[in-house]
Amino acid sequence: MENLKELNTSTRVLMGPGPSDVHSRVLRAMSTPLVGHLDPEFLMVMDDIKVMVQETLQTQNPLTFVVSAPGSAGMECCLVNLLEPGDEAVICIHGVFGTRLADIAERCGAKVIKVEADWGTPIDPNNVKKALASCKPKLVAIVHAETSTGVLQPLEEISKMTKEAGALLVVDAVTSFCGTELKVDEWGIDALYSGSQKCLSAPPGLSPVTFSQAAIDVLENRKTKVQSWFLDLTMVKNYWAGAKRAYHHTAPVSAMFAMREALRIVLEEGLENRFERHRKNHELLRDGLERLGFEFLVSEPYRLPMLNAVRIPAGVDEALVRKRLLDEYNIEIGGGLGPFAGKIWRIGLMGESATPNHVNMLMAALKQLM
């Protein structure tokens, strides 16, 4: 075989459901020369990340750390540590990621009680209440920002009823993290996982996670071993939080450097300013899309600012337009998943991709293509 050429990808504009565009400061941090994963300087990087994740999640939880794997591993981490065979788990499903939660909970040997809503609408708290009354729930798991449909799920009422039922609240905040209000302590969230590549705008492959004291108590009182060695927090926590910082696995050092810089950028901007920026650019995009004849899938109060799900107008060949956006304009947007394949687009305005310039570029390209 001939030698392959050096990798040279196109300069894309990332406006899909993640990954989002990454700031050049983050890319530079990622090219920092390696240090060992137990080097005191790297342990300091881990400490910095932990403090900044606590701040961005608005939590004091000491067990706040980053799983060395993507958001789906954070999801698995929360469930495998909290569920044992025979436990009952209320899983809310209103899109692809709720479906994935149910799949994982079943693989943990839990009895899953599903609470469903039509895709494109939020979960009705009354149905959660009914489900809670029908079993002895160990936990309720729910997606805060359902990236497959563009729905923002209100959490506070569901959190209250979950507490009253003596269960833990597990939240998927992969897409909401750093893009919209998310208050772990105030909202009574017990276990939460997120992702690096959406509104944080770091490279994919890491999942910030936090556990409350109530969740740690459940973990510490397990009768069976956690079924995953890699995700077993009874061991991982000694690497992230233990006094000895014992070897567990080799952390992805460069990705952690990148995450540290991305978190610094978020806190420099300020959470409220960042949320406002996502809102403003969503409104700009919404106005432009509506002028072109697109309709939003989700009713207004439940729309995500960072993930705009719109129905494709009649007569538009959605796959062709998406392909031409990529080939001719270097712009990536997302298609629909599951029942929405071919029916909607999912346009991301996440982190570094939530700018007026991104919106204007996409609108100009769409005007030419449609």
Output the smallest distance, CB 18 to ligand PLP, in A: 5
Output the smallest distance, CB 67 to ligand PLP, in A: 10
Output the smallest distance, CB 148 to ligand PLP, in A: 8
Q: Which of 56, 147, 159, 180 binds ligand PLP (CB under 6 A)?
A: 147
Q: E-assigned strands of the chain?
A: 13-14, 63-67, 88-93, 111-116, 137-143, 145-146, 151-152, 168-172, 191-193, 207-211, 295-296, 307-311, 331-332, 334-335, 344-348
Number of residues that bind ligand PLP (CB under 6 A): 14
Output the smallest distance, CB 96 to ligand PLP, in A: 8
Instruction: Compare residues 94 and 138 and give the one whose CB is closer to ligand PLP.
Output: 94
Output the smallest distance, CB 322 to ligand PLP, in A: 19
Question: Which two structure tokens, joined as six digits, stand for 338?
Answer: 């599951």
Best CA proximity match to 67, nearest among 231, 263, 312: 231
Q: Which distant-in-sequence residues (6+ apart) come within 8 Å of 291 by Cβ? A: none
Instruction: Tell me the residue number closest to ligand PLP, measured at CB.
Output: 71
Q: How far is CA 319 from the centre of its chain?
A: 26
The whole-angstrom separation of Cα 255 and Cα 138 is 34
Output the smallest distance, CB 210 to ligand PLP, in A: 16
Output the smallest distance, CB 256 to ligand PLP, in A: 16
Instruction: Compare residues 18 and 188 and give the one whose CB is closer to ligand PLP.
Output: 18
Burial class for 320, CB neighbours closer than 10 Å (0-12, 13-18, 19+): exposed
Instruction: Compare residues 147 and 201 and give the one whose CB is closer to ligand PLP.
Output: 147
93-118 CB burial, b ≥16 within 10 A, e <16 = bbbbbbbbbbebbeebebbbbbbebe
Instruction: Compare residues 96 and 363 and give the one whose CB is closer to ligand PLP.
Output: 96
Residues 345-364 touching ligand PLP, rule: CB under 6 A, are none
Q: How far is CA 93 from the centre of its chain?
A: 16
Q: E-assigned strands of 234-341?
A: 295-296, 307-311, 331-332, 334-335
CB atoms within 10 A of CB 346: 24
Residue 18 sits in the site that holds ligand PLP (CB under 6 A): yes
Best CA proximity match to 295, nearest among 355, 334, 333, 343: 343
Q: Are 111 and 87 in contact (CB under 8 A)?
A: yes
CA distances (Å), 253 to each of 126, 210, 348, in order? 45, 20, 28
Q: Spell out, one character per residue from 171 to 200, where the chain touches ligand PLP: x when CB under 6 A holds, - when not.
A: -x-xx-------------------x-----
Best CA proximity match to 249, nearest among 62, 38, 31, 34: 38
Instruction: Compare residues 174 and 216 and give the one whose CB is closer to ligand PLP.
Output: 174
Instruction: Compare residues 142 and 167 and give the one whose CB is closer to ligand PLP.
Output: 142
Residue 98 sits in the site that holds ligand PLP (CB under 6 A): no
Residues 315-344 touching ligand PLP, rule: CB under 6 A, are none
Output the smallest distance, CB 71 to ligand PLP, in A: 2
Instruction: Compare residues 75 and 362 and give the one whose CB is closer to ligand PLP.
Output: 75
Binding segment for ligand PLP among 60-68, 169-177, 226-234, 257-265 (CB under 6 A)?
A: 169-177
Residue 97 sits in the site that holds ligand PLP (CB under 6 A): yes
Output the smallest distance, CB 179 to ligand PLP, in A: 11
Instruction: Compare residues 75 and 366 and give the one whose CB is closer to ligand PLP.
Output: 75
Question: Residues for the chain: how many in total?
Answer: 370
Instruction: Compare residues 79 and 174 and give the one whose CB is closer to ligand PLP.
Output: 174
CB atoms within 10 A of CB 355: 16
Binding segment for ligand PLP among 23-31, 67-75, 123-131, 154-162 (CB under 6 A)?
A: 67-75
Q: Give residues in contact with ligand PLP (CB under 6 A).
A: 18, 70-72, 75, 97, 143, 145, 147, 172, 174-175, 195, 204
